[in-house]
């Protein structure tokens, strides 16, 4: 029978914790310095042009925002679907979701070129634009998850955790749908403009968030000695494999749809066959290393039963997710605009050629800085708040887990 779960902050600042926090803080500062240089010198320092207006920072920002929604999935499974074995992980799930969204939005705001103009976006709305909707979705997500965490952490409010979790579950689905609709509503780009973008982003959020959660959980177990049970890891890694399979399904639907529609066959072949770096990132980065390899690792008995195999699968899923977002955002802009169907465009500006783009060190620094900021927030949160349980052993968190039988006593030798 499962024991009562006791939560506590991680005590003390050991050398490992200090080194991790210092490393993440240094990466965050480097990212901020990169943003400051781009702000003062101008975006001519970056690889962005008048055709590639969303660069590498947007790739990291969208990835973190999408992953934030998926990171809350563990808490949703606990509260909404009543799976008590996930309850000890719910607080970490909520904290990670908030941290990832904060890191993503930090990158997004600092990449605008005029971060001080954010106040205009937050006070002047054009509700025909999906961007205006996302202002409310992102800020609302912060409020909803903070309230949800309060309901879980405050004993007197525990009875409200299920309705709060249900509301957060619905909100995060709407948030990810809104993020996917940013691209689905862009009718001017043949690489976007598709209703399948919304469910595809929902599936990607589940996969990316689950992979990051697994990595953070195993790191926390190693640093805090939580005694993470094999049963918990098995359930989480199986969910990761299912979410990756769902992602592959929606990606296949998107490209098969584009291949079927005559007006989009060009962009489909660009991504799938003759897009150079974008084709390589799609097949090698996303499909093979980001989906098929992790699925093989988590479902194969030899590798799926080891922590190393699960960690490698999760890391590959994260890298493959970044590759997929890069292909969607950068590749979708690089493909030349089709202004008139059946006609070729020629001229000195829009000459119908694939747009060139190479990310600068400043852009990469800003993107990595956002990831570091998110992880630093999680590191600090588990140090000052009762986020982690004192134990994650299977017999402590799983009511159906049978205690291990004691080894037979050795018969004493006759005197």
In sequence order, what are the beta bridge partners of 389?
7
- Whole-angstrom Cα distance, residue 258 to residue 269? 9
Residue among 108, 119, 101, 123 at smallest CA distance from 171: 101
CB distance 370 to 63 below 8 Å? no
Tokens at 144, concatenated: 């909803």
Q: What is the pLDDT of residue 404?
A: 56
Tokens at 60, concatenated: 């990291």
Domain 7-397 has CATH 1.20.1630.10: yes
- DSSP single-letter state for residue 392: -
Ranges of each domain in the chain: 7-397
Q: What is the pLDDT of residue 414?
A: 43
In sequence order, what are the beta bridge partners of 388?
8
Q: What is the pLDDT of residue 1?
A: 46
Q: What is the pLDDT of residue 191?
A: 82
Is residue 389 classed as helix, strand or coil in its secondary structure?
A: strand
- Whole-angstrom Cα distance, residue 166 to residue 50? 43
Q: What is the pLDDT of residue 411?
A: 45
In sequence order, what are the beta bridge partners of 46?
none
Angle at 319 between CA 236 and CA 144, to 5 degrees: 55
Is residue 103 classed as helix, strand or coil in its secondary structure?
A: helix
For residues 270, 273, 276, 277, the Cα torsion angle rounded to the nearest 10 degrees is: 90
CB distance 392 to 128 below 8 Å? no
Q: What is the pLDDT of residue 322?
A: 98
Q: What is the pLDDT of residue 195?
A: 86
- Whole-angstrom Cα distance, residue 234 to residue 284? 27
Is residue 165 classed as helix, strand or coil in its secondary structure?
A: helix
Q: What is the pLDDT along the chain (415 residues), one digit of tens a residue?
A: 455 778 888 887 888 889 999 999 999 999 999 999 998 888 889 999 888 999 999 999 999 999 999 999 999 998 888 888 899 999 999 999 999 999 999 999 898 767 677 777 677 777 777 777 888 899 999 999 999 999 999 989 989 999 999 999 999 999 999 999 888 888 767 788 888 999 999 999 999 999 999 999 999 999 888 999 999 999 999 999 999 999 999 999 999 999 998 888 889 999 999 999 999 999 999 999 999 999 999 999 999 999 999 999 999 999 999 999 999 999 999 998 776 666 666 665 555 688 899 999 999 999 999 999 999 999 999 999 999 999 999 887 776 666 555 455 554 444 3
**Considering the entire predicted model, what is its pTM?**
0.92
Q: At what angle do helices 130-153 and 90-110 cross, to 10 degrees?
A: 150
Q: What is the pLDDT of residue 186?
A: 80
């Amino acid at each position: 029978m499962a024991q009562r779960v006791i939560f506590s902050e991680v005590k003390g600042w050991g050398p490992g914790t200090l080194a991790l926090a210092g490393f993440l803080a240094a990466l965050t500062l480097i990212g901020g310095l990169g943003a400051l240089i781009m702000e003062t010198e101008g975006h001519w320092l970056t690889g962005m042009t008048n055709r590639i207006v969303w660069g590498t920072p947007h790739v990291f920002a969208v990835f973190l925002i999408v992953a934030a929604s998926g990171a809350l999935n563990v808490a949703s499974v606990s509260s909404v679907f009543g799976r008590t074995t996930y309850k000890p992980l719910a607080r970490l799930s909520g904290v990670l979701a908030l941290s990832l969204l904060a890191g993503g939005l930090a990158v997004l705001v600092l990449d605008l070129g005029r971060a001080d103009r954010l106040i205009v976006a937050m006070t002047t709305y054009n509700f025909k634009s999906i961007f205006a909707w996302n202002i409310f979705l992102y800020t609302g997500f912060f409020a909803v998850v903070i309230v949800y965490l309060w309901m879980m952490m405050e004993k007197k409010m525990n009875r409200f955790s299920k309705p709060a979790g249900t509301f957060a579950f619905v909100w995060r689905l709407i948030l990810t749908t809104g993020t996917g609709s940013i691209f689905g509503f862009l009718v001017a780009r043949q690489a976007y403009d598709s209703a399948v973008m919304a469910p595809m982003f929902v599936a990607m959020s589940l996969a990316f968030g689950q992979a990051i959660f697994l990595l953070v959980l195993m790191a926390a177990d190693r640093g805090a000695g939580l005694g993470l049970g094999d049963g918990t890891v098995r359930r989480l890694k199986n969910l990761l494999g299912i979410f990756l399979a769902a992602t592959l399904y929606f990606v296949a639907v998107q490209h098969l749809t584009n291949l079927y529609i005559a007006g989009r066959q060009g962009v489909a072949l660009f991504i799938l066959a003759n897009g150079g770096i974008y084709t390589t990132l799609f097949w090698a980065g996303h499909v093979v290393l980001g989906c098929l390899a992790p699925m093989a690792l988590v479902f194969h008995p030899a590798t799926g039963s080891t922590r190393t195999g699960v960690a490698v699968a999760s890391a590959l899923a994260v890298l493959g997710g970044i590759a997929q977002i890069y292909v969607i955002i950068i590749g979708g802009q690089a493909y030349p605009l089709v202004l008139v169907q059946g006609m070729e465009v020629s001229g000195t500006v829009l000459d119908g050629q694939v747009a060139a783009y190479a990310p600068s060190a400043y852009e990469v620094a800003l993107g990595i800085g956002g990831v570091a900021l998110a992880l630093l927030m999680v590191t600090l949160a588990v140090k000052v708040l009762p986020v982690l349980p004192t134990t994650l052993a299977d017999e402590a968190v799983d009511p159906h887990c049978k205690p291990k039988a004691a080894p037979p006593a050795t018969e004493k030798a006759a005197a």
